[in-house]
Structure 1
Amino acid sequence: MGGAERSARKRRQQQNAGARAVTQARGGGGPGRKTIVSVIAVVVLAALIIGGVVWTNASKNKTEGTTIAPQTASAALDTADERQGAVVVSGNADAKVKLDIWADFLCPYCGQLQQQSGKQIEEQIQAGTVQVTYHMIPLLVNQSDPAGYSLASANAALCAADQGKFTPYHDSLFASQPEEGKRGYDNAQLIKLGQDLGITAPEFATCVNGGTYDQQLNAALAEVENDPNFKGTPTVLHNGTMVDWTQQNWLTNLVNQAG
């Protein structure tokens, strides 16, 4: 091989080496870039998944460790004999308007009814014009996580009724209503609410922890589910006739019609 050929060959080798260096500097041509991009994508996806799980769990369990805010509803509405089996009767026996309300402490529409009309109902009870029979039933017992809040809260409300605190207890549970499908309140939180409302009798905690009225509440639910007038929660009846509680001034109209 002559000197000229050797020089030409050397120049070609140098040119090829330079081209490879440029290609590598630009990140092309090899598997390294693809591998790095894939790893980054996996890390980002994993972070999003973990973040989503953490957020979901936090949202689901947001009632954990919290205190149910006690409401200042008038306990003067309550009487020693207002609990009658699995129902609570509030108001004078000679009231012109007699209502039956079926509700569940987990039911969002029941919470809407309470927010919309609860204060007015209690004012009419106080005035002696309305009597309400409250049927707190565990219709959504399987719709909390863990299951059972509907039954536990209904039982606790009856336990509170035995201590003359049904109305503020009822109002407090709706004012701090947990979301359907998520965690409710446990027995310790339900007991603490009663204590914050002024219940001091140890029988209250025993009643809550022991599920004293669970059997009666389950029996009441089984019975009402066979009643053609029952349309789920909330159901409001006036003298056995369905009331459309979503209509504005529905209670005022009933009171005025009763004269």
Structure 2
Amino acid sequence: MSKGKRDRTLKARQVVEHQRSAERRRTVTIWTSVAVVVVLFIAGLVGYSLVTGEDKGTLSTPTVAVDEGTAFATGTGPVTVDVYEDFMCPSCNRFEQAAGATLKQLVADQKITLRFHPVAILDRFSNGTEYSTRAAAASAAAAQEGKFTEYHDVLYANQPAENSDGLDNAKLIELAKSVGLTSDTFANAVNEGTYKTWATQATEKFSERGFSGTPTITVNGKQVTGPDNTLPTAELVTQAVQQAAG
């Protein structure tokens, strides 16, 4: 074979090898791109799940809840009094001590429908135990069994201090027994967090309505406060009810 022919043959082989290498690189690039697309697609699904709340758990709304599933009502009076409260909120407890008896009397006199809205805005004050959420969820379980008011009262009578761990589930169940709430259904709801997602949603609705602090008290939808945005007294709430009744 002449030198010229050998050179042409060698060059032809180099061209073929170059084409083969280019094809291999193109194949790798294609599959790498496919892999990236798949990863991005999966990430998008995960992100969508997070945005749509699929990671929050199943929403179980108590069948007895009213006002878009956010509250528990007592009484059938013509004027509606709404109390938004957090079971770890010291101010909520002070309002309960100051005005709770008056509100119950207004219910008994058939002057008001009293609606309690448990919310959870103070989880950050329970050292990571989410006491506000757990207490609100437990109160929902109590409401489902017809014992909301009794359980509401015993939770305030045993309110833990802010920046403590709050009450554990065993204590929440023990307190329920003291007001005649002894069913396994209630205990399981507390231990399994059946209504925790509901508590979160009720809190979000509270915020959507333009409220940010507890307690928030409204009479026929109009917020009632004391001077300089202080807690309203029992007398102020009663006056607001009388005015709303006409």
Q: Shorter-normalised TM-score: what interval?
A: 0.5 to 0.7
Who is 1:184 aligned against? Answer: 166
Give the residue type in structure 1 aligned to 2:202: A
Closer/same/farther in 2, CA of residues 227 and 247 from structure 1, 3 Å limit: closer
- Structure 2: 5+ residue stretches without partners: 1-61
Q: Determine the structure 1 residue equivalent to 2:114.
A: 132
- Displacement, 1:144? 0.8
In structure 2, the residue matched to 1:90 is 74
Higher mean displacement: 112-121 or 238-247: 238-247
Are positions 1:198 and 2:180 aligned together?
yes
Which residue in 2 is equivalent to 1:238? Answer: 219
> Any conservation in 2 of the 1:87–1:135 contact (CA below 8 Å)?
yes
Q: Which residue of 2 aligns with 1:161?
A: 143
Aligned to 2:195: 213
Q: Which amino acid aligns with 1:194?
A: A
User: How is 1:141-156 mapped onto 2 (pairs within 5 angstroms)?
Assistant: 141-156=123-138
- Equivalent residue runs for 1:221-236 within 5 Å: 221-228=203-210, 230-236=211-217
For residue 125 of structure 2, give the secondary structure of its aligned residue in structure 1: coil
**Paired residues of 1:96 and 1:255 also in contact (CA < 8 A):** no
Deviation of the 1:219 alpha carbon: 1.4
Cα deviation digits, residues 169-214 of structure 1 (max 9, x gap): 1011112211111121011000111112112321010111111111
Listed as ranges, the gaps of 5+ residues in structure 1 are 1-79
> Which deviates the most, 104-113 or 174-183?
174-183
TM-score normalised per structure 2: 0.67
The whole-number CA distance in structure 2 between the counterparts of 1:197 and 1:247 is 29
Structure 2 CA distance, aligned partners of 1:241 and 1:116? Answer: 20
Task: Report the RMSD for the aligned CA atoms in angstroms.
Answer: 1.8
Distance 1:115 1:82 in 2: 26
* Alignment partner of 1:120 is 2:102: yes
Q: Percent identity?
A: 35
Scaled by the length of structure 1, what TM-score is found? Answer: 0.64
Query: For residues 21-46 of structure 1, what are the alpha-carbon distances to aligned partners after superposition, in whole Å with 9 as ceiling and x for unaligned?
Result: xxxxxxxxxxxxxxxxxxxxxxxxxx
The whole-number CA distance in structure 1 between the counterparts of 2:187 and 2:65 is: 17
Q: Distance in 2 between matches of 1:113 and 1:127?
A: 20
Q: Which runs of 4+ in 1 moved over 4 A?
A: none
Is 1:139–1:221's contact at 8 Å kept on the other side of the alignment? yes
Q: Distance in 1 between matches of 2:232 and 2:152?
A: 23
Q: Deviations over 1:46-104 (max 9, x none)?
A: xxxxxxxxxxxxxxxxxxxxxxxxxxxxxxxxxx9743434211111xx1321111110
Q: 1:231 to 1:142 in 2, by over 3 A?
A: closer
Question: Which amino acid in 2 is paired with 1:89?
Answer: A
